[in-house]
Chain A
Amino acid sequence: MSLEALLFIPTAFSKRSRQEVLNQCYVTGIKSLAVISVVAAFTGMILALQTGLELRRFGLQQNIGTAVTVVMLREMGPFMTALIIAASVGSAIAAQVGTMVVSEEVSALEIMSINPVRFIVMPRLFALALMMPLLAVYTNILGILGGAVVGATQLQVSFQAYFDNARLYAENKDLYVGLVKAFVFGVVIATTACHQGFSASEGAVGVGQATRRTVIISFLVILVLGYMLTRVFYR
């Protein structure tokens, strides 16, 4: 189904689809910013504090710059973003698509010879695949800043030292591998949510189940795929 949706990606820019694609981008990207901001900042702060306290025992707390940056870029940025998006946007998509199936809206589309995959899946897939990496960048930035604040206030690591240290070991590879992950996670979430939505059985119970399954399956796939991608890029 996702493959079929990919075939329709070129139509994302056609006039009739553009508006829906933009709306989906807005829903996934902009509406999630608030919660992502909080989660991202605190992820960075926790990372800085935990590693900082540990490193301070060796007098190496200035290394939190590297610690937070590398971990945010490689893992936490994409991972946290994916979890939030799966829990909020993914479940919402599953509920919406499930409701559409149950209330015969999908049937109505079929009668009108409107391919439901193009009409429903493609905009969501496109939006998630595009917005996830962008959101991951945003998460990374906030997380790293959060770490810097904790470093400066709790661990006596100045901003200058923090960022110097971060620049020392973090590479572009870390950043872009993280973004590739975020992209993959976006595809995973959209595919899972739409698939579960389309296979929702009759009634509100079916929709609820589709929503629940979406969150669980997305989480598991994100974790496992995250590990495997790490293995592929860093062996």
Chain B
Amino acid sequence: MSPLHLLEIKNLTKHFGGLAAVDNISFQADEGEIIGIIGPNGAGKTTLFNLISGFLKPDSGTMKLRGENITGLEPHKIVNKGIARTFQVVRPFRHLPVIANVMVALRSPRGARKIEWLKTIERKAADLLEDVGLSEMMLEPAENMGHGTLKRLEMARALATEPDLLMLDEPFGGLNPLETDFLTKSLMRMHLDEPTRCILIVEHKLYALMKIVSRVVVLHQGEKIAEGTPEEIAQNDRVIEVYMGKGIQDA
């Protein structure tokens, strides 16, 4: 085990006006982990994601990737250091065909680095799309695609930069049970293929999430209230209180 954590977050804080959206959060992520970040609405999960990916600048606290300070870097620099993300609301490039969406990510310095010799950018993009099961609609414009397809497309786009840390913002949101199942399976397969990659997942659908994660971080009103394996979290009184309300234990 290397002494350095893949991602180390210390006392991260972000205020919006008087509201502390993320309040003094610290946690670590190591290689090969799948970590779920859960919490009720407004708990600060997406804000935390935006802080890690550089879309927001933290008020205080530090973030380190393999010991290297990445606090306050530009988003594209963070991506090129090895942290890729997807969005809660899909953001495809609507004017471009599906395959070109992935090719954009392959044009980034990190994405281009991973294109091996004698393998064109188109081949690489096609391979990535095959991995998420979109090879049949490669040449269709992205604006004709459905929501579930776009979610998968975003994942292929994030994977194009071959990140060490993949952050998925509500990947199951708006998917039907079949698509949820497909995504769960492809996440598991991805974990087997790239055992060192760490995956952070923000999710509401606990049922789908709990099956795949190895560790869960629970946020509530910007604070971290619990951390542990899915079994521990399910037993945690504070978590149950936050999710179900206080009266449930008395009843």
| A and B from one complex | no
Which B residues lie at the A interface, using CB under 8 A?
none
